[in-house]
Amino acid sequence: MLADDAVRLASSGAPGLAQAVIRLKDSLTAHVLREEQGVFTRLKEAGIANAYYVDDLEEDHVRFASNLALPAEVSASELDQLTDELVRHIAIEEYDVFPAAANLLTDEPAKPSWPGN
């Protein structure tokens, strides 16, 4: 994980920490945009966002961006805490939000695709 790489660099004092944080920030930014312009928007349009943690996840996105705003100033302990928060955040998405969204946002039930239907 990019966050783990940044934590290792910060802990060891090895060069390249700012670049590792920038890679992490860029990766998270792309991820956030896809979620907020995709599934989160659809959940809000369907009126079910609050029940599926969307507001909390979006607050995480804002906090992550703030924590990574100055890549050269991020400490090992801040990166370690961010990594823990990312693991929690991803678990909520993968095990709660995305499966619920897949079920709730499907337009129609799947139909068999054999001839005559």
Global confidence as pTM: 0.78
Tell me which residues of the chain have a pLDDT lower than 50. Answer: 110
Inside any domain, residue 48: yes
* Distance (Å) of CA 67 to CA 44, 47, 54, 70, 89: 26, 30, 20, 8, 15
Residue 64 lies in a domain: yes
109 within a domain of the structure (yes/no): no
Residues of the domain holding 13? 2-104
> Is 90 within the bounds of a domain?
yes
Residue 52 belongs to some domain of the structure: yes
Helix (H, G, I), strand (E, B), or coil: what is residue 68?
Answer: coil
